Amino acid sequence: GVAYEHDRYGPVWVTSTMVDNELLVVGTDPKRHADTAWKIVERATGPAAGSLFLSTHPRSPHLWMDMPLAANAEFSQAAAVFRRDALGEGHRSLPVASWSGIPEGPRRVVQPTYDQHGKEVWMVVWNPQDQGSAIVVVDDATLEPRAILTDPRLITPTRIYNLGQLRATGRK
């Protein structure tokens, strides 16, 4: 899940699950929002079951959801983007695997990761080791691809780390 400052509920934690398509928003501020602390304050429907990771950034209005374990390729090869303070309004589906240009394989889209400034979201297009994989960089404002990174040495990537965010929080 992800934690962020919600316009209405203050600090919240949002989680998705691998077994259904529901997103749950939990209030986490017992001091300023005692009436909603440690309670589910909102439920939203995602496009499909099979999500592993959510991502957001303090400078973005968006919440990104992957679905690499979805049974249907329409969902496992895409990312869903929600307005993070209005999850119930629905999502926009982005065809990330298609943008990668990789023509074959499961092409599972996984692990949306923001750059340190909250302007780009990097996602892995995962394939088995004998098929091409890619990293697709998407503009968070326009929700359009900015860059496609491919290389024969890019074999089954599964995680992107934003070291800039770690440095900004003082963690090493």
Please compute the mean of the pLDDT values over residues 135-157 and round it to a whole number. Answer: 94
Contact between 106 and 128 (Cβ < 8 Å)? yes
3-class state of residue 60 by DSSP = coil
Nearest-10 Cα torsion for 43, 44, 49, 50: -80
What's this model's pTM, rounded to 2 decimal places? 0.91
pLDDT digits (tens, 9 = 90+) for 58-97: 999 999 999 999 999 999 999 999 999 999 999 999 999 9
Contact between 80 and 64 (Cβ < 8 Å)? yes
Provide the pLDDT for residue 163.
Answer: 61
pLDDT of residue 169 exceeding 50, the answer is: no
Phi, psi of 132 (to 5 degrees): -65, 145
pLDDT of residue 170 exceeding 60, the answer is: no
Provide the pLDDT for residue 168.
Answer: 44
Contact between 157 and 151 (Cβ < 8 Å)? no
Starting at the edge strand that comes first in sequence, how are the strands of the sheet with 10-15 ordered?
2-6, 10-15, 22-27, 40-45
Per-chain mean pLDDT for the chain: 91
Residue closest to 87 by CA, chosen among 40, 35, 32, 138: 40
Question: What is the largest distance, in Å, between two alpha-carbon atoms of the chain?
Answer: 53
Residue closest to 127 by CA, chosen among 143, 109, 106: 106
pLDDT of residue 122 exceeding 60, the answer is: yes
